[in-house]
Structure 1
């Protein structure tokens, strides 16, 4: 099955797994998905992920979801820039998510990073998603 929006697919799989209180979810592997998962792991929204390669199958990421007191750490995750409408932001236009309690994940010329890292590196880019 062809996936037109790989980041949207990743976000939906994480959201659906957390609604069902799964401890892990499986996502098709790609570089961009790996970079987004790196940011989520570094910011503490997921426990981590591992690349799984089986004989005769395409590689996947096994994402370990994080819960606190039985509730998911990610209360809301939403796609901002979509294939039909790309959203770009300069460093001066990056607004904090939930007054700094959440993050935006950006694709910048210096790589995929959180909004705080983008402000520190003084770069803007495509706003992929918001997490809080």
Structure 2
């Protein structure tokens, strides 16, 4: 089955797993998805992830029984790509969330891209 937007699929699977209170979720692997999950782990939104047999297994994080991730929003879509300059990178939920960008230096978190003065394609926002 060919997906038209694998990143939207990643975000949807994480969102659905949180709603069902699962501890983990499996996602078909790709380098871009692994980089997005690396950022989510560094920022404390997920416990961990591992790659095994062309799948990424994501271990979800909860705090007092509630999901740490309150919301996931895909910004750039296949039908409408959204590009931003370094000064236009949004501050998500007054700094409580993160923006994830695809830049010439790879997949970066919004604050890091702003610090390095690099713009790129705005992939998603997580809070």
Q: TM-score, normalising length from structure 2? A: 0.98
Query: Is residue 21 of structure 2 the alignment partner of residue 41 of structure 1?
Result: no
Map of 1:61 onto structure 2: 56
Alpha-carbon shift at residue 110 of structure 1 (Å)? 0.6
Offset from partner CA, 1:55-109 (integer Å, 9 cap, x none): xxxx100000000010000000010000000001000111210111100000000
Alpha-carbon shift at residue 44 of structure 1 (Å)? 0.6
Map of 1:115 onto structure 2: 110
Partner SS, residue 119 of structure 1: helix
- The runs of at least 4 consecutive aligned structure 1 residues that moved more than 6 Å come to none
Distance 2:114 2:88 in 1: 10
Distance 2:31 2:52 in 1: 14
Map of 1:2 onto structure 2: 2
Partner SS, residue 51 of structure 1: strand
Distance 1:48 1:122 in 2: 29
Q: TM-score, normalising length from structure 1? A: 0.95
Distance 1:31 1:2 in 2: 17
Map of 1:101 onto structure 2: 96
Query: Is residue 23 of structure 2 the alignment partner of residue 28 of structure 1?
Result: no
Structure 2 unaligned regions, length at least 5 = none
Number of aligned residue pairs: give it.
Answer: 127
Structure 1 unaligned regions, length at least 5 = 54-58
Taking only aligned residues, the RMSD between alpha carbons, in angstroms, comes to 0.6
